[in-house]
Amino acid sequence: MFGYVFKRSLQSLVAVAGLLVLVFFLSRLTGDPAYLYLPLDSTEAQRQAFNELHGFDDPLYIQFGRYLADLLHFDFGTALSRNRPAMEVALEAFPETLKLAAIAMTLSLVLAIVVGALAATKPGGIFDRLATTISLAGASAPDFWVAIVAILFFSVSLGLLPTSGTGTPLHWIMPIGVLMLRPFGLLTQVVRGSMMGVLTSPYIKTAQAKGVRRTKIVFVHALRNALLPVITVAGDLAASLINGAVVVETIFGWPGIGKLMIDAIVRRDFALVQATVLITAIAIFFLNIVIDLVYAALDPRIRHQTA
């Protein structure tokens, strides 16, 4: 097991390193930052002075060398637009995204497993149809639209919830609700499909013949086998949430990393782009390890293969 994790870690490390190189050069391909930092009516001399001051006039390989040297000291550069160390800004925002993603993902997963499994026990039944309709609608509804309508309804018309921001527990309700729509919808579909397959397999029939209780068959015997594809999809969805729930962060004014990353790109704040990408890459790297471990725990074939 340890060897397996070690091997995966090495692979991910190479991937993260490659990503950093890529982001460094790609972000600099977008053009001269002086044009975005300085006002439009700045003079050429002012732009040149800006580039000299921040080393943007040096050849790319020199800039890259400097970046690597700084990385070795854990210096991630200054977020020029914020007047602050880039990593400090990124680390402030990331936990906000992580909290939101963790809660939304856990709730979606639990809800999807229950609803999907129940729907699969009686395909074509009323509950199945209802669950399918709701989950498909959830998976395909445009989240920015749902978010705005929810604010107009719950905050403006009913005055029940705060429109946006953070602070009280009530502030969490709408962002999490909107964020759950897609994962819940997709996962319900996956659980349902996978469960339907498993429920027709011979070992379930055996269990039924032995007179095992129905709920026990579904949630203990069948679920364990049905979960593998669910974990794969859930892992993907979780990774995209960790990357920042940009729409939800933007509309609800949630101070997360998705919005920060977009702002950094738009403002050509190279150091901040690099720092935010690095943080999310590392987080996704850990997420992948966790997913692998869950796989191994669920599927003895993987466990024994790697042992």
Q: Which residues bind another protein (CB under 8 A)?
A: 30-32, 35-43, 45-46, 49-50, 53, 80-84, 92-93, 96, 148, 151-152, 155-156, 159, 161-170, 250-251, 253, 255, 263, 267-268
Strand-pair partners of 79: 84
**First-last CA distance in the chain:** 6
**C-beta of 217: minimal distance to another protein in Å?**
33
Q: What are phi and psi of 85, to 5 degrees?
A: -60, 135
Q: Cα–Cα distance between 307 and 301 in angstroms, integer?
A: 10
**C-beta of 243: minimal distance to another protein in Å?**
18
Nearer to another protein, 80 or 277 (CB): 80
Nearer to another protein, 83 or 126 (CB): 83
Tokens of 287: 């997420």
Nearer to another protein, 115 or 247 (CB): 247
Tell me if residue 79 falls in helix, strand or coil.
strand
In terms of Cα–Cα distance, which of 283, 286, 9, 244 is closest to 104?
244
Which residues have CB under 8 Å from 221's CB, separation 6+? 203, 204, 207, 212
Nearer to another protein, 171 or 182 (CB): 171
Nearer to another protein, 61 or 83 (CB): 83
**C-beta of 178: minimal distance to another protein in Å?**
13
Phi-psi region of 304 (alpha: psi -120 to 50; beta: other; left: phi over 0): alpha
78 sits in which H/E element: strand 78-79
Nearer to another protein, 96 or 128 (CB): 96
**C-beta of 242: minimal distance to another protein in Å?**
18
**C-beta of 49: minimal distance to another protein in Å?**
6
Nearer to another protein, 42 or 306 (CB): 42
Q: How would you class 18 by CB atoms within 10 Å of its CB: exposed for 0-12, middle for 13-18, buried for 19 or more?
A: exposed
**C-beta of 60: minimal distance to another protein in Å?**
17
**C-beta of 103: minimal distance to another protein in Å?**
17
Which residues have CB under 8 Å from 137's CB, separation 6+? 185
Tokens of 51: 């580039």
